[in-house]
Amino acid sequence: MDKLVALLLAAGEGKRMKSKKPKVLHKIMGKALLEWVCESVLEAGIRDCVGVVGHKSEEVEKYMGNRLKYFYQKEQLGTGHAVMQTIDYIKDNSDYVLILCGDTPLIKSDTLNKAIDKVKNKDFGALIITTTVNNPKGYGRIIRDNNQNVLKIVEEKDANENEKSINEINSGMYCFKTDYLIEVLRNLDNNNSQSEYYLTDTIEMLLKKDIKVGALKINESNEIMGINDRKQLSIATQIIKEDILSHHMENGVTIIDPKTTFIDKDVKIGIDTTIMPGSIIQGNTIIGEDSIIGPNANITSTEIGDFTKINNSTIVESKIGNFSNVGPYAYIRPKSVVGNNVKIGDFVEIKATVIGDKTKISHLTYVGDAQIGKNVNIGCGVVVVNYDGKKKNKTIVGDNAFIGCNTNLVSPVEVKSNSYIAAGSTITKEVPENSLAIARSKQTIIDGWVKRKGMSRGID
Choices 80-88, 202-210, 219-227, 377-385 (CB under 5 A): range interacting with Ca ion = 219-227
153 lies in the site for ligand UD1, by CB under 6 A: yes
- Residue range at the interface with ligand UD1 (CB under 6 A); choices 10-18, 87-95, 291-299, 326-334: 10-18
DSSP for 123-170, written as a single string: T-SEEEEEEE-S--TTSPEEEE-TT--EEEEE-GGG--HHHHT--EEE
Residue 125 in contact with Ca ion, rule: CB under 5 A = no
- 170 lines the binding site for ligand UD1 (CB under 6 A): yes
CB of 103 to Ca ion, least distance (A): 6
Determine which one of 26, 81, 248, 363 is catalytic: 363
Catalytic residue status for 247: no
Candidate ranges 160-168, 218-226, 268-276, 429-437; the one touching Ca ion (CB under 5 A): 218-226
Torsion over CA: 441, 446, 447, 450 (sign): negative
**By C-beta, is 73 or 408 nearer to ligand UD1?**
73
C-alpha radius of gyration, the chain, whole number: 31
Instruction: For residue 187, count other CB atoms closer than 10 A to its CB.
Output: 9
Report DSSP state, residue 95: S
Residue 351 found at the interface with ligand UD1 (CB under 6 A): no
Tell me: does residue 9 bind ligand UD1 (CB under 6 A). Answer: yes
Residue 314: CB atoms within 10 A of its CB come to: 20
Under the binding rule (CB under 6 A), the answer on residue 384 touching ligand UD1 is no
Rounded Cα–Cα distance for residues 288 and 268 (Å):
8
Draw the binding track, 11-50, toward ligand UD1 (x: CB under 6 A; -: no contact): xx--------------------------------------
Of the pair 162, 434, the CB lying nearest ligand UD1 is at 162
Q: Which of residues 220-239 bind Ca ion (CB under 5 A)?
A: 226
Q: How far apart are the first and last CA of the chain?
A: 102
Tell me which of Ca ion, ligand UD1, none is bound by residue 431, counting a contact when its beta carbon lies within the kind-specific cut-off of 5 to 8 angstroms. none
Residue closer to ligand UD1, measured from CB, 130 or 312: 130
- As measured in angstroms, the least distance from the Cβ of 172 to Ca ion is 6
Query: Exactly one of 35, 48, 155, 357 binds ligand UD1 (CB under 6 A); which one?
Result: 155
Stretch 261-300 residues interacting with ligand UD1 (CB under 6 A): none
Listed residue (431, 283, 303, 284) closest to 293, CA to CA: 303
Taking the complex as a whole, the smallest distance from the CB of residue 168 to Ca ion amounts, in Å, to 17
Residue 169 makes contact with ligand UD1 by CB under 6 A:
yes
Q: Which does residue 51 touch among Ca ion, ligand UD1, none (CB within 5 to 8 A, set by kind)? A: none
Among residues 224, 200, 4, which one has the least CA distance to residue 104? Answer: 224
Q: Annotate 439-455 with DSSP letters as a single string.
A: -SPPP---TTHHHHHT-
Nearer to ligand UD1, 234 or 434 (CB): 234
Dist CA 312 CA 61 (whole Å) = 37
3-state helix, strand, coil in the chain (%, to 5): 25, 30, 45
Which residue among 31, 59, 76, 235 contacts ligand UD1 (CB under 6 A)?
76
Q: Is 140 in the site for Ca ion (CB under 5 A)?
A: no
- 101 lies in the binding site for ligand UD1 (CB under 6 A): yes
Residues with Cβ within 8 Å of residue 268, at least 6 apart in sequence: 285, 286, 287
Window of 122-130, 165-173, 257-265, 312-320 that interacts with ligand UD1 by CB under 6 A:
165-173
**105 contacts Ca ion (rule: CB under 5 A):** no
Going through 238-379 in order, the beta strands assigned E by DSSP cover 254-255, 262-263, 268-269, 274-275, 280-282, 286-287, 292-293, 298-300, 303-304, 309-310, 314-316, 319-320, 325-326, 331-332, 337-338, 343-351, 354-355, 360-368, 370-372, 377-378
Q: Which stretch binds ligand UD1 (CB under 6 A): 163-171, 262-270, 291-299, 363-371?
A: 163-171
SS3 sequence of 166-181: CCEEEEEEEEEEHHHH
Task: Judge contact between 383 and 398, C-beta under 8 A.
Answer: no
Q: Which residues are catalytic?
A: 363
Q: Which residues bind Ca ion (CB under 5 A)?
A: 226
Could you list the residues that contact ligand UD1 (CB under 6 A)?
A: 9-12, 52, 73, 76-79, 81-82, 101-103, 139-140, 153, 155, 169-172, 198-200, 226
